[in-house]
Chains A and B, each alone.
Chain A
Amino acid sequence: MGLRSFLVLHRRMGLISAFFVLLLSLTGLLLHHSNSLGLDTAFVGSSVIARWYGVETAELTVAYRTESGTVAQIEQTLYLDGVRLEGDHSSLVGAVEADIGVVIATRDSLLLMTEEAELIETLGAQHGLPAQLTAISHGEDSIWLRASAGSFLADLDALRFTPVEPFVALEWESSFVPEAAETDQLLSDYNANLISWERLLLDLHSGQLLGSFGRLVVDIMAVLFLFMAATGIWIWSRRRP
């Protein structure tokens, strides 16, 4: 096989692999700076992508109604009036509105939220919060907590949780079933935020996005690039004066 034939072969392989060189270079560059670009913590937000990945649809775990909205939980994710809250949380046990805003009770914590769903503070065991909360109630000018150890009167300003039985019968917050439309909206948001941009780019870069076919294509391209490097060096060596 002469020099001219190699040149033609090299050129044709170059054309075929150009698209993949661009794709791999671009995804590789982005992945190399994934952290600084925030790609690992930014989510694709597409239900189409979620379905492509075959993400198992979760169920709405529990929901509570406050005076002005809904607090819901799907798996370990909490939503306040449709706004997803940061982080993973233990089991939701209730929510009440208070002077500070909204107080969301989980088994291990109290989340103090503004009505715009901004986190003010999270209270936990280090603040003296009773362990294993099971319910919350809003009495007249007071917040009550029910935990495995009994009932507590909560003073969130002084951070005091006084073990005492309620003076009057309280209505402990109980869960409810939201309307189907509201549930669907929450589930759609939840599923759309399971795949990060970093994950998607990794799968695009490796061919994994198209399963075994994609991996085969990437393998073929890798062999093609090796062949191009070899033919390129050979052509250069033949053309040297």
Chain B
Amino acid sequence: MRFSGVMLIAALLLSYSSTFASDDFIAPEIFLQSVFPQEEPETATVWLTGEKQEIATDILGHKPDSLRLRYWYAGDKKAWIVDEIGKTEPITIGVVIEGNAIADIQVLAFRESRGWEIKHDFFTRQFQGIGLNGRRQLDGVIDGISGATLSVRAMNNVSRLVLYLSQSLDS
């Protein structure tokens, strides 16, 4: 009786946490303020046309949803906010690039009921210091999360895309 009661409570908590997680949201303005606390960043755009569109399509596995991506910058730091589909709904991902590596990555909005584990520090801190190798793959190992394959893939692909675009701007 006691055991079944514990199981019931655990099941309720798990179901509650899975639905609660999908409601977490960090406003993009708040994200940008945290990235650039001391200064007002400039903003610019990158047009995803021609070769850039081909490479972006190769990285994402589909044609980019928009023709240009916006970024905010101050000094050597750039912040990108990108939407990418996990399974069926878009995940809003904020990425900070310093030099040629990821300084920080955050899930700003997660709209699906599964895979929300990617928003936790234990997963996102793996991206810190990661750059791109010559094949436009991440140059470090990112351990996946069982049951969140598509969300993890979305994070990886967005990371690769913004690293590539940042490099293309610097060059």
Chain A interface (Cβ < 8 Å from any Cβ of B)? 35, 40-41, 86-87, 114, 118-122, 124-127, 159
Contact = CB atoms under 8 A, between A and B. Distances in A.
B65 A124 contact: no
Interface stretch (B8-16, B27-35, B97-105, B114-122): B27-35
B66 A122 contact: yes
B68 interface: yes
A116 B140 CA distance: 40
A126 B27 contact: yes
Given A40-B87, A40-B88, A159-B43, A125 B68 contact: no
B67 A114 contact: yes
Contacts of B90: 87
25 contacts: A35-B150, A40-B87, A40-B88, A41-B85, A86-B65, A114-B67, A118-B67, A119-B66, A119-B67, A120-B66, A120-B67, A120-B68, A121-B66, A121-B68, A121-B70, A122-B66, A125-B27, A125-B28, A125-B29, A126-B27, A126-B28, A126-B29, A126-B81, A127-B43, A127-B70
Interface string B30-66: 0110000000000101000000000000000000011
A9 to B, nearest CB: 44
A35 B27 contact: no
A124 B69 CA distance: 13
Contacts of A125: 27-29
Given A125-B28, A126-B81, A159-B43, A35 B87 contact: yes
Contacts of B150: 35
